[in-house]
A and B are shown apart, each in its own frame.
Chain A
Amino acid sequence: MGILTTFKDWFGNDWGVHPDDRKRPAADAAVRVMPVPERLWLPLQQHLGAPARPVVLVGQRVKKGQLLAEAQGAVSAPVHAPTSGTVAAIAEITAPHPSGLTLPAIVVDADGADEWGERVGCADPFALAPDEIGRRVAAAGVVGLGGAAFPSSVKLAGAARAGVATLIVNGSECEPYLSCDDRLMRDAAAAIVDGIRIMRHASGAARVLVGIEDNKPEALAAMAAAAASCAEIRVCRVPARYPMGSEKQLIQALSGIEVPADSRPADVGVIVHNVGTALAVRAAIRDGQPLISRLLTVNGGCVVAPGNIEVRLGTLAADVLAFAGGLHGDGLGLARRLLGGPMMGMQIPHWRVPVVKGTSGILALAADEAAAGDADPCIRCASCVRACPVGLLPLEMSARIRNDALDAAAALGLADCIACGCCAYVCPSRIPLVQYFQHAKGELAARERARLRTDATRKLAAQRQERLAREASEKAAAAARRKAERAAQQSAAEKLVQGEPA
Chain B
Amino acid sequence: MIAAVLSLTLLGALLGVVLGCADRFLRVEGNPLVDEIGALMPGSNCGQCGFPGCAGAAAAIVAGSAAPTCCPPGGKALAAAVAGRLGLAVDLSALADDGPQIAGVAEELCIGCCRCSKVCPTDAIVGAAKQIHNVLREACTGCANCVDLCPTEALLLQPVPPTLPHWVMPKPLGA
Contact = CB atoms under 8 A, between A and B. Distances in A.
Interface in B128-175: 138-139, 141, 162-164, 166-172, 174-175
B141 A457 contact: yes
A461 B122 contact: yes
Interface residues of A, number: 36
A99 B141 contact: no
A458 B43 contact: yes
Contacts of A439: 168-172
A371 to B, nearest CB: 14
A13 B86 CA distance: 46
A460 B138 CA distance: 11
Contact of B172 (A377, A432, A450): A432
B9 interface: no
B43 A454 contact: yes
Interface string A219-258: 0000000000000000000000000000000000000000
Contacts of B167: 97, 99, 101, 442
Interface string A444-467: 011001100011111011011001
B164 A101 contact: yes
B112 interface: no
B174 A401 contact: no
Given A439-B168, A446-B168, A457-B43, A101 B162 contact: yes
A449 B168 CA distance: 12
B121 interface: yes
B136 to A, nearest CB: 10
A376 B163 CA distance: 33
Nearest to B41: A454
Contact of B124 (A45, A97, A103, A460): A460
B66 to A, nearest CB: 19
B62 to A, nearest CB: 19
Contacts of A103: 164
Given A375-B174, A402-B175, A439-B171, A101 B43 contact: no
A445 B165 CA distance: 10
A457 B143 CA distance: 12
A431 interface: yes
B45 interface: yes
A461 B168 contact: no
A99 B42 contact: no
Contact of B123 (A45, A97, A464): A464
Contacts of A464: 120-123
B60 to A, nearest CB: 19
Interface string A388-428: 00000000000001100000000000000000000000000
Contacts of B121: 460-461, 464
A429 B174 CA distance: 12
A200 B111 CA distance: 63
Contacts of A431: 175
Nearest to A458: B43
A45 B124 CA distance: 28
A99 B164 contact: yes
Among B162, B168, B174, find the residue whose CB has the most chain A CB atoms closer than 10 A: B168
10 contacts: A432-B175, A435-B169, A439-B171, A456-B139, A457-B43, A457-B122, A458-B44, A460-B122, A463-B123, A467-B123
Given A101-B163, A101-B167, 11 more contacts: A98-B169, A99-B162, A99-B167, A374-B174, A375-B172, A435-B169, A446-B168, A455-B43, A457-B44, A460-B121, A461-B44
Interface of B: 42-45, 77, 120-124, 138-139, 141, 162-164, 166-172, 174-175
Pairs of residues from A and B, 4 with the lowest C-beta to C-beta distance, nearest first: A442-B168, A375-B175, A458-B43, A460-B122
